[in-house]
Amino acid sequence: MFSHLHASVLYGLGGILSVLVVASTVVIILKRRHPEKSYVELSQRINSWWIMVGVFSAAILLSRTASIVFFAFVSFLALKEYFSLIPTRRADRRVLFWAYLAIPFQYYWVHLEWYGMFIIFIPVYLFLLLPMRMVIIGETKEFLRAAGMLHWGLMTMVFSLSHAAFFLALSEEKNPAGGGAGLVLFLIFLTQFNDVAQFIWGKLTGRHKIIPLVSPNKTWEGFLGGLATTTALAALLAPHLTPLTVPESLLAGLLIGCSGFIGDVTISALKRDIGVKDSGSLLPGHGGILDRIDSLTFTAPLLFHFIYYLHY
């Protein structure tokens, strides 16, 4: 039924679902043993994880095209949420149409496996098109600020995230362990696991603030503990999902751990600048879509080019 997927990918998805079952069971036990305590936020987080994992798994299981459409939809939600947060000029609202229109084109290049157009469409063509469209409108006040915000949103929410989808376009023959879906699962799981690991290590051992003005809850202990855990897990998973050797998988783990942290605090800096705690309320217990994919905006392009350079 799922002949387009390698067995390792199916086992991986099954393992993730098993972790969610255990987490849900633990919450039920905690509620019964400590009825006086509130576990509302924890329950909301796990319920949201069920939804996110369910949708992601369905997209991967259905087909390669369904997976690409899934990532395109995530980019749309992220860009929409971003534009709802940042201050825009009235004149720029007519330019936003072209930014949204870039999403189906960018993911169409992924579907065609056209790497040349995929890699330059937003950084070159949209980089030149959007300012031209803004100039034609004729509004010059805060032009540079508006252009910068539009470009940053497109690069982060669409271009960066689309690298996760392009894993699906890479040659299956060069990754007999897991194919393109295996690379996607490796990226998504380790990125999200790194967030959780850094949070847990920070709660258990955190003492020294790492960037207090941007994210007061981030500590050196949480960062280093999460980095070590993610790196070790990368070495365990890589032989089953990727073409990476052991030394390469360790480097991949370090890359995901470091870049995931930077992506997280970068979006935190954006939210602090705007003056909001969460980017939205789409995912109960987590906040908005940006709160969940912040790390992925950095890990996706960096891991993609790391693997692409080494093996493709």
pLDDT of residue 310: 95
- Cβ-based neighbours of 138, under 8 Å, separated by 6 or more: 91
**CA angle centred on 92, ends 150 and 88, rounded to 5°:** 70
Which residues, in sequence order, are CB contacts of 269 under 8 Å at separation 6+? Answer: 214
pTM, two decimals, is 0.94
∠ at Cα 49 (214, 103), nearest 5°? 70
**From CA 28, how far away is CA 183, in angstroms rounded?**
34
CA atoms of 178 and 24, how far apart (whole Å): 29
What pLDDT score does 166 carry?
A: 98
Average pLDDT, the chain: 91
Q: In this predicted structure, what is the pLDDT of residue 285?
A: 67
Q: What does the pLDDT read at residue 162?
A: 98
Kindly give the parts of the chain with pLDDT less than 50: none
Q: What is the pLDDT of residue 91?
A: 75
Q: What pLDDT, on the 0 to 100 scale, is given for residue 190?
A: 97
- The whole-number pLDDT of residue 1 equals 66
